[in-house]
C-alpha cells in the first residue's frame, strides 16, 4: 500500500505556478505583459539582462495624481505659509491660487501644458522655484519624506505614501524578478521622489529620473537655487533616459500626452517592446478623466499600445 501511494504521488501533476500579477484581471493587457516578459527572458527573442530596462512615469502611472499631483500639494502648502508671512504675495500668482484654494486655476495650468500651451507654466514655476529656494538638499528631502508619510489624500483618506497603485507596484516586482532594471522617468521632482522610491516601488534613488532645480555648493552643503534645471517631460524624457542610462528601454508606461515621446522611444525594430498607457476610467475606486491624455489615447489606438483601463484591468487599485 505504501509503495502504491508513493507511485501515485510520483505521478501527481505539479501545482500550478502562482500568478505573478494577482492584482491584474485576466485579459489582453495582463496577457500582453506575460507574453512580453516571456519573449524577453527566453527563446529566440531573449534580451541580455543588462539591456532589460523599463521606465515608468510617476504621477498618474505609479501613484494617484488627482485632484492634484502630490508634489503640487506639497508646494502649495509652502506657498500658503509664505503668503501668510508676506501679505503682498496674496495678490500674485501662484501664491494667490494657493492662498485662496483656487484649484481650478492650478488644474488649468497642468492641462494646458499637456495640450502644448505653456503660457501659464512660467507663472506657476516662479512659485515652485521660490518655495524651497536656498535650503539644503538634505532638509528638502526631510520635509518631503515627512509630508509623504503624514499628509493624507483629500478624498481617498489615506497617507500619500499609500497612494501607489498596487498593480503597478506588482508589475515592478515581476519585472525585477525577471532581470529588469526599473527606472522612474517623471515630470515630477527627482528630489521629491527619491526619499520614498525604494520603499514604495523597490526602485533605488539612483534610478529616479525627474525634473530638477539648479543646485549650488554653499557653506559646506548643497543648496537648492531658485532656477530650473530640467523639466523632464515631453521630448526631454527620452533624452534624459538616454543620458542617464545609455540604453533605450524595452518597456515604458505613462498616462498623458507628455509621455508620448518616451513611449515612442521604446519601440525597437530588432527587440520586443511593450508600451503601456494607463487610462483613468474608474470613478468609484479612483478618478475618471482623460484631460491631458487625448492625443496619447489616439496614438495608443493607432500604434497598438496596451491601454490599461483601471476599471477593467485592475482587480484592486491601492
pLDDT digits (tens, 9 = 90+) for 128-177: 899 999 999 999 999 999 999 999 999 999 999 999 999 999 999 999 99
pTM for the structure as a whole: 0.91
Q: What is the CA radius of gyration of the chain?
A: 22
Kindly state the cell numbers that stand for 253. 508606461
Bigger pLDDT: 24 or 124?
A: 24
What span, in angstroms and rounded, lies between the C-alpha atoms of 109 and 271?
38
CA distance 71 to 85: 22
Q: Is the pLDDT of residue 51 over 70?
A: yes
How far apart CA 248 and CA 51 sit, in angstroms, is 8
In this prediction, what percent of the chain has a pLDDT beyond 70?
Answer: 95
Q: What is the pLDDT of residue 109?
A: 87
pLDDT tens for 77-131 read: 999 999 999 999 999 999 999 999 998 888 888 888 888 888 888 898 899 899 9
Question: Three cell numbers at 121?
Answer: 507654466
Segment 176-233, tens digit of pLDDT: 999 999 999 999 999 999 999 999 999 999 999 999 999 999 999 999 999 999 999 9
Query: For 3-12, 122-131, 259-268, 283-292, which range has the lowest pLDDT when averaged over its residues?
Result: 3-12
Beta bridge partners of 281: 288
Chain centroid to CA 72: 14
Task: Say if residue 240's pLDDT is above 50.
Answer: yes
| CATH 3.40.50.1000 applies to domain 23-64+162-313 | yes
Q: What integer pLDDT is reported at residue 6 of this predicted model?
A: 47
- Domain ranges in the chain are 23-64+162-313
d(CA 105, CA 251) in angstroms, rounded, equals 34
- Quickly list H helices, 166-235: 166-177, 190-201
**pLDDT value, residue 226:** 95
The whole-number pLDDT of residue 254 equals 98
> 3-class DSSP state for residue 144?
helix
Which secondary structure element, helix H or strand E, spans residue 242, and what is its range?
A: helix 236-245
Q: Is 43 exposed, middle or buried (0-12, 13-18, 19+ CB in 10 A)?
A: exposed
Amino acid at each position: 500500500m505504501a509503495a502504491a501511494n508513493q507511485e501515485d504521488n510520483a505521478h501527481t501533476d505539479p501545482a500550478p505556478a502562482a500568478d505573478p500579477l494577482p492584482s491584474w484581471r485576466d485579459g489582453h493587457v495582463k496577457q500582453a505583459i506575460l507574453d512580453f516578459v516571456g519573449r524577453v527572458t527566453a527563446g529566440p527573442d531573449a534580451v541580455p539582462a543588462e539591456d532589460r530596462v523599463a521606465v515608468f512615469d510617476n504621477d498618474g502611472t505609479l501613484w494617484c495624481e488627482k485632484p492634484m499631483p502630490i508634489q503640487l500639494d506639497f508646494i502649495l502648502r509652502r506657498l500658503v505659509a509664505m503668503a501668510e508671512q508676506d501679505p503682498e504675495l496674496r495678490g500674485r500668482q501662484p501664491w494667490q491660487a494657493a492662498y485662496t484654494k483656487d484649484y481650478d486655476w492650478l488644474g488649468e495650468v497642468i492641462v494646458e501644458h499637456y495640450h502644448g500651451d505653456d503660457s501659464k507654466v512660467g507663472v506657476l514655476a516662479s512659485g515652485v522655484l521660490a518655495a524651497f529656494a536656498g535650503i539644503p538638499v538634505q532638509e528638502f528631502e526631510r520635509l518631503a519624506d515627512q509630508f509623504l508619510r503624514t499628509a493624507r489624500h483629500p478624498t481617498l483618506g489615506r497617507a500619500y505614501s499609500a497612494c501607489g497603485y498596487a498593480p503597478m507596484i506588482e508589475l515592478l516586482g515581476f519585472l525585477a524578478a525577471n532581470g529588469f532594471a526599473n527606472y522612474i522617468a517623471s515630470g515630477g521632482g527627482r528630489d521629491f521622489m527619491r526619499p520614498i522610491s525604494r520603499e514604495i516601488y523597490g526602485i533605488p534613488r539612483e534610478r529616479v529620473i525627474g525634473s530638477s532645480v539648479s543646485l549650488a555648493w554653499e557653506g559646506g552643503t548643497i543648496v537648492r537655487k531658485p532656477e530650473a534645471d530640467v523639466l523632464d517631460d515631453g521630448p526631454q524624457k527620452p533624452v534624459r533616459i538616454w543620458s542617464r542610462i545609455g540604453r533605450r528601454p524595452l518597456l515604458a508606461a505613462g498616462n498623458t500626452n507628455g509621455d508620448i515621446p518616451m513611449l515612442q522611444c521604446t519601440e525597437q525594430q530588432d527587440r520586443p517592446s511593450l508600451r503601456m498607457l494607463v487610462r483613468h476610467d474608474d470613478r468609484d475606486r479612483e478618478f475618471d478623466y482623460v484631460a491631458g491624455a487625448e492625443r496619447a489615447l489616439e496614438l495608443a489606438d493607432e500604434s497598438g499600445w496596451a491601454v490599461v483601463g483601471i476599471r477593467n484591468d485592475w482587480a484592486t487599485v491601492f
